[in-house]
Structure 1
Amino acid sequence: MINQRRTGYTVNQIADWYLSKSSMSPKKLQKILYYAYAWVLTLSNDDINHLENRLFDDDIEAWAHGPVIYTVYEEYKLFGYNDIPRYDGEVVMLSEDISDILNQVWDEYGSFTADQLESITHQESPWIRAREGVSPLAYSDKAISDRDIYKCYIERVA
């Protein structure tokens, strides 16, 4: 197995970072975290055969309503469809490169609603491929492949 380098951040640190920008529903937070992960994976690795740099360690699962990180789901599920309050605690100090990418993700996706983000992810190949053979509303905890994520998003920046 390849030793993978990580950025050194946890998914909770990245969630707090985004929640310090704005309150949002758990579903929107999940999709923003997915795009942050996808963009960091795509922009900080040289090719599909060397995907060592990941924003955080948690898998992203292909649930019926789009990409979900289970630990984040558990943390915020009590909010249901309501917004998680804006986070006003200390946020992690990000490297300049990661900060730049996360801000770009916020600029690109932050104005969308949770349902709009769900719809966008449902039209993209990483979620579609991970859901192959699963009926539309059925439960699945299959992880979305880093290779599928990279392949999808590298085409947009190449």
Structure 2
Amino acid sequence: MRSNFDVFNIADWFIANDSSMTPKKLQKMVYYAYAWTLTLMNDSVDNLKNKLFDAPIEAWVHGPVVKDLYQRYSNYGYNVIDSNDLSHQDSLDKIKQNPDIEDILQQVNDVYGGYNANELESITHQQFPWQHAREGLSPLEATSNIITDEDMYRYYVSQES
């Protein structure tokens, strides 16, 4: 399964399913959905062909960020995103057509949806994929370093046991 989705389809699902979705929280939810999909839909770190979307995830100061998604919703600042402001009106239907992906999104929402953006930021900062991508940087240093699929897969597979 190569990705049939783009990052905006996934973002739309989270926005439609969480009335407290701010841009920062959305970034973390999309990150976890991507990482969980890598972990659950691939059998080996050597063959990570099943991905949720193709956009890179960068290790910004406040945690994992998809730059295009940041640009799309940055005008909201720290405010909740209007649930009518979806990128693609067909996103929810498209996801419903793939029950495995919808199930992963629901699981991620069940596990992380109760946290606010600052709590999710703190959680990602304690995890290896973000830390590794920021290795050698000061806490407030900007970067576009990518959080690798391999780091995500290895870390989250190790958390399952």
| TM value normalised by structure 2 | 0.92
What is residue 66 of structure 1 aligned with on the other side?
63
CA RMSD of aligned residues (A): 1.2
Q: 5+ unaligned residues in a row in structure 2: which ranges?
A: none
Shift of 1:156: 1.6
| Letter matched to residue 30 of structure 2 | L
What is residue 131 of structure 1 aligned with on the other side?
134
Alignment check: 8 A CA contact 2:3 2:54 kept: no
Q: 5+ unaligned residues in a row in structure 1: which ranges?
A: none
> Which residues of 2 match residues 1-150 of structure 1 at below 5 A?
5-23=1-19, 24-87=21-84, 89-90=89-90, 91-94=92-95, 95-150=98-153
SS in structure 1 of the partner of residue 17 of structure 2: coil
Moved more, 90-99 or 140-149: 90-99
| Letter matched to residue 111 of structure 1 | G
| Letter matched to residue 6 of structure 1 | R
Give per-residue Cα distances to partners, 1:119-153, cap 9 Å, x unaligned.
00000000000000111001000000100000110
Alignment check: 8 A CA contact 2:32 2:108 kept: yes
Q: Distance in 2 between matches of 1:12 and 1:127?
A: 22
Higher helix share: 2
Q: Distance in 2 between matches of 1:35 and 1:100?
A: 13
SS in structure 1 of the partner of residue 94 of structure 2: coil
| TM value normalised by structure 1 | 0.93
Runs of 4+ in 1 over 2 A off after TM superposition: 87-90
Shift of 1:8: 0.8
Give per-residue Cα distances to partners, 1:13-49, cap 9 Å, x unaligned.
1101111112311000000000000000000000110
